Amino acid sequence: MGIVVVEICDGNAITTLNIEEILEKEFPEVAVLTSDCLSFCGLCRVKPYALVNNKRIHGSTPEDCLNKIREAIKEELAIYQ
């Protein structure tokens, strides 16, 4: 498992992108976990989001969210450098 964990809900709009493949290829230190529900009721229907080391990251589109997730991952990895 990676030192940065990205969790996504499978009912979320972010799943229109292959987040797991994209992020794990780009960042070997990342583990992407998909759950049925992350218990943020309704948020997944409103906008794309993910948890990056338990911090909520969201965007207006899946691509916007992905870019914000990348930035959050870089911030998390900077701690270990």
In angstroms, rounded to a whole number, what is the distance separating the alpha carbons of residues 8 and 81?
A: 26
Record the pTM. Answer: 0.88
Between residues 46 and 65, the one the model is more confident about: 65
Q: How far is CA 16 from CA 48, 49, 65, 73, 77, in A?
A: 10, 12, 12, 20, 26
- Asked whether 9 and 44 are in contact (CB, 8 A), the reply is yes
In angstroms, the CA 76 to CA 43 distance is 23
Percent of the chain at pLDDT above 90?
Answer: 62
Count of all residues that appear for the chain in the document: 81
Reported confidence tier of residue 18, pLDDT bands at 50, 70, 90: very high
What was the pLDDT predicted at 2? Answer: 61
